[in-house]
Amino acid sequence: MHETEQNDEAAPAQGHEERFAQAVAVGGVFNGHGSEIDADLVREFCVRRAGEVDPRGIRLRGVRIVGQLDLTGVQVPFALRFENCTFDEAPILLGASVRELAFIDCPALPGLIANGITVAGDLELSGSRITGSHRTSASMSRQAAVWLCESSIGGRLLCVDTVIEPQGERAIQADRMRVGSTIRLLNNFHAKGELRLVGLQVGGSLDMGGARVEADGFALDLADANIAGNVFVSPSAARVRPEIRGRINVSSTRIDGRLVIRDATLVRPERDVGRYHSPRFEGKALVGLRLFVGAEFVFAGSTAITGGVDLASAELGRMAIDARVAIDAPGQTALNLTNAEIRSDVSAIGAGLRVRGTILLVGARVRGRLDLDDAVLSDPRGQSLIKADGAAIDGDVQMRRLRATGGQLKFWRTTIGGGFDAAGAVVENPDGGTVRLHNCQVGGSVRLVDGFTSTGCVVLSRTMVGGRLDLDGGTFTCPGPTVHNPESAAIRAVAGDFRGGMDLGWADISPAVNVTDTSTSVLQDDPSRWPEQIYIAGFTYERFDAPRGASARRRIWDWRERLAWLRKQPEYDAGPYEQAARVFRQHGYTQGAEHLLIEQRSDARRAENSRAPVRNLLDWVYGWTVGYGYRPGRVLWLLVALLVLVSASLAIPPVQQTMRASDEGVVFTVDGPLNPAYAADDADPCGGGRVRCFNPVLYAVDTVIPLIALDQRSTWYPDRFVPGGVVIEWYLNIATVAGWLLSSVFLLSFARLARNT
């Protein structure tokens, strides 16, 4: 439609009032070229002469409005549009109703007081410079340049290239404002004061592309807002980078779409002011307590955040952080997701995310993955770079190639539905823990592999891992003892449960490992690659295997290698010996099991230095003779040797001359009756069968083995009155005692061996 423009060059003789009346009557633009219009004249046409105005409304261009335009409570049935106009005083539209309201490219707008206004269409402040601040009844303590509290805008709120200078006060205060469509604070929008939009209701999106806001305390306050669309803080079409200097508050805010902060600069306030300041907000660049985001919360591009991000108790569809994002809050909480619920993943996309400060996931519920691959973490608050106490993560925790310095990655009483993968990560915390999976439940495997490096202590105590503990190619070093790690263990896995096995194919580990009371199914290790001190009391496993990629598998069941491993315990403990022997025996390596148990008794004797020397001697003899009951065959050889010795000695004629037997008063020697009177009566030396003939071998058996009675010892005896008889008597008695002891030891050892088998 053709637009009529009325100006003073076209009708120089007419007065401003007549020309103004003519312009508004035909819906044209009144171009004043710097001329003045009384504010009361505009009010007159809005109130008493509204019927003379074309439905297109009052449109002024290049006009100076003299006086104060006060339309309080006025029902304006048409649009009001001011282009390139200046105002002596801030327009007042308290409780007014207007079809459309626009202040476009106005170089001097002292403010806008429009609490309770109803705008059927758009409210536009684009290109205008708003300077000054005012007080209204909507706040008892603060002033603002633009007041839109309790207002209702049916269309859009447009602030493209708008500059607001509130002289130290708030730039916009629009508590509980309702906007039917979108809010656009775009391009070179620059507010040198707080944008207070508490309780805002937006039917569309909030777009702050290229916006710049500077304020002490809150820069953008969207507490309790409800936004049906998205929130964008991103570069404008002209690639103007958004910058928010001051705190963004989105606490208790509901955003049904996405919250995207892309290529932006967020800087926490240098100082906090205001009666609503909370110590909890100190150091925070963004606060979103109980924030709801239906789709995803994204920090994208090269966003730089100076200060922390507090999203405690938030509910997010997904949270993503691009690789080039940097969160700088050294010594503070950088990202707080305490008790938050994320319905999908929390992920760092790409390589290079840098976070200085602590990431809190205490009590958080992540229904997808926690992905921090390639992130760089440093300068924590306290001892933890990541603190996920009591968190529940349904998917995997991925921290591959992560770099962490000065703190631990703490997961205490955390439930992880998937696995924990820190392949290639480097974690340096010499004074404490590095990866701390303490009292956790992990559904998958724990992988600290492929160049993973820990300087400090990896803690896996009281953690149940449904998969495997895989340490293949990892390097673990603990510089020294701490209060919670007095043994300087590079890995502490006390009372852990690794159901899928333990692959301990580490590249290097020192100076100690503590796996006390830990249990697993298969132990994949090289015994010679363990550190010099190992704590393995109560460590149970079902079988041995070689680490993944090991070149030689023959050493798996080498009992000597395993014995050297067992002897690395700082203090003797019999349990690990018996556990290793049990596994050897279960897999058919009986000799290896016996060797381990024999050496266990020897090591026990050496460990008990307080025992009496005699007891130590007897124990040594017991070990040397029958291997503490595991080598009963040694006794048989000793018995055979004793039999041979006794038999040989009894075959010597001088020894035989000491032997006597008697029958009915007749004394016999091995050569016959001792009395010659009886020699003729007997045809043989045994008196014709009156006594049993002497046999050195049978006599030796009867002497040495008490369980056998051959009637040799009961028939023949050494004569004490014959030279050498006393010696032979003692000699044979000693042989009897020795044989009885050896036989008893053999029977007891055999019974024990049978029972153990």
- Is residue 577 helix, strand or coil? helix
Longest distance between any two alpha carbons in the chain, whole Å? 188
**pLDDT for the residue 638:** 76
Q: Are 639 and 705 within 8 A, CB to CB? A: yes
**What distance in Å separates the CA atoms of residue 657 and residue 659, rounded to the nearest whole number?**
6
Please give the distance of CA 367 from its chain centroid, rounded to a whole number: 16
Which of the two residues, 633 and 256, has the higher pLDDT score? 256
Condensed to tens digits (0 to 9), the pLDDT of residues 662-678 reads: 876 678 777 777 766 65
Q: Are 152 and 178 within 8 A, CB to CB? A: yes
Q: Which residues of 24-63 are buried (b: 16+ CB within 10 A; e: fewer)?
A: beebbbbbbeeeebebebbbebbeeebeebbebbbbbbbb
Compute the C-alpha angle 384/390/391, nearest 5°. Answer: 85
**What distance in Å separates the CA atoms of residue 348 and residue 372, rounded to the nearest whole number?**
5
Confidence class of residue 687 from pLDDT cuts 50, 70 and 90?
low
- Is residue 131 helix, strand or coil? strand
Listed residue (348, 354, 451) closest to 401, CA to CA: 451
Highest mean pLDDT among 345-354, 444-453, 637-646, 735-744: 444-453
**What distance in Å separates the CA atoms of residue 247 and residue 39, rounded to the nearest whole number?**
38
**pLDDT for the residue 553:** 57
What is this structure's pTM?
0.83
Task: Output helix, strand, coil percentages for the chain, rounded to the nearest 5.
Answer: 20, 35, 45
Q: Could you give the residue ranges of the DSSP H alpha helices within 7-63? A: 16-26, 39-47
* Four-point Cα dihedral 697, 701, 702, 706, nearest 10: 170
Tokens of 448: 């600290």
**What distance in Å separates the CA atoms of residue 609 and residue 627, rounded to the nearest whole number?**
20
**What distance in Å separates the CA atoms of residue 563 and residue 169, rounded to the nearest whole number?**
78
Find where tokens 């550190």 sit: 531
**What distance in Å separates the CA atoms of residue 293 and residue 542, rounded to the nearest whole number?**
49
Least confident of 93-107, 567-581, 662-676, 718-732: 662-676
Least confident of 10-24, 120-134, 510-524, 572-586: 10-24
**What distance in Å separates the CA atoms of residue 118 and residue 733, rounded to the nearest whole number?**
125
Tokens of 443: 């559904």
Q: Are 726 and 616 within 8 A, CB to CB? A: no
Q: Are 478 and 501 within 8 A, CB to CB? A: no
**pLDDT for the residue 214:** 95
Burial class of residue 1 (count of CB atoms within 10 Å of its CB; 0-12, 13-18, 19+): exposed
Listed residue (288, 149, 156, 270) closest to 217, CA to CA: 270
Q: Is the peptide bond before 511 cis (omega within 30 degrees of 0)?
A: yes
Q: 260: which DSSP letter?
A: E
**Amino acid present at 244:** I
**pLDDT for the residue 97:** 97
Least confident of 94-108, 261-275, 544-558, 573-587: 544-558
**What distance in Å separates the CA atoms of residue 566 and residue 140, rounded to the nearest whole number?**
77
Over residues 720-739, mean pLDDT: 84
Q: Which residues of 463-490 are buried (b: 16+ CB within 10 A; e: fewer)?
A: bebbbbbbbbbbbbbbeeeeeebebbbb
Condensed to tens digits (0 to 9), the pLDDT of residues 304-326 reads: 999 999 999 999 999 999 989 99
**pLDDT for the residue 630:** 59
Least confident of 135-139, 379-383, 666-670: 666-670
Highest mean pLDDT among 33-37, 163-167, 622-626, 675-679: 163-167
Tokens of 263: 């290529």
Confidence class of residue 12 from pLDDT cuts 50, 70 and 90?
very low
- Which residues are bridge partners to 87 per DSSP? 65
Q: What is the mean pLDDT of the chain?
A: 88
Burial class of residue 334 (count of CB atoms within 10 Å of its CB; 0-12, 13-18, 19+): buried
- Which residues are bridge partners to 267 per DSSP? 245, 306
- The neighbour count for residue 131, using CB atoms within 10 Å, is 18
Confidence class of residue 13 from pLDDT cuts 50, 70 and 90?
very low
- Is residue 374 helix, strand or coil? coil
**Amino acid present at 480:** G
H or E stretch covering 564 = helix 559-566
**pLDDT for the residue 194:** 95
- Is residue 533 helix, strand or coil? strand
pLDDT > 90: what percent of the chain? 67
Compute the C-alpha angle 507/513/516, nearest 5°. Answer: 140
Residue 7 reports pLDDT greater than 50: no
Compute the C-alpha angle 746/589/756, nearest 5°. Answer: 40
Condensed to tens digits (0 to 9), the pLDDT of residues 69-113 reads: 999 999 999 999 999 999 999 999 999 999 999 999 999 999 999
Distances (CA, A) of 116 to 113, 136, 138: 10, 12, 10
Condensed to tens digits (0 to 9), the pLDDT of residues 151-168 reads: 999 999 999 999 999 999
Q: What angle do the packed helices 613-626 and 725-756 form, to 10 degrees? A: 70
Confidence class of residue 625 from pLDDT cuts 50, 70 and 90?
low
Q: Are 525 and 547 within 8 A, CB to CB? A: yes
Condensed to tens digits (0 to 9), the pLDDT of residues 489-518 reads: 999 999 999 999 999 999 999 999 999 999
- The neighbour count for residue 611, using CB atoms within 10 Å, is 14
DSSP for 541-572, written as a single string: -SEEEPPTT-S--GGGG-HHHHHHHHTTSSS-
Q: Are 449 and 474 within 8 A, CB to CB? A: yes
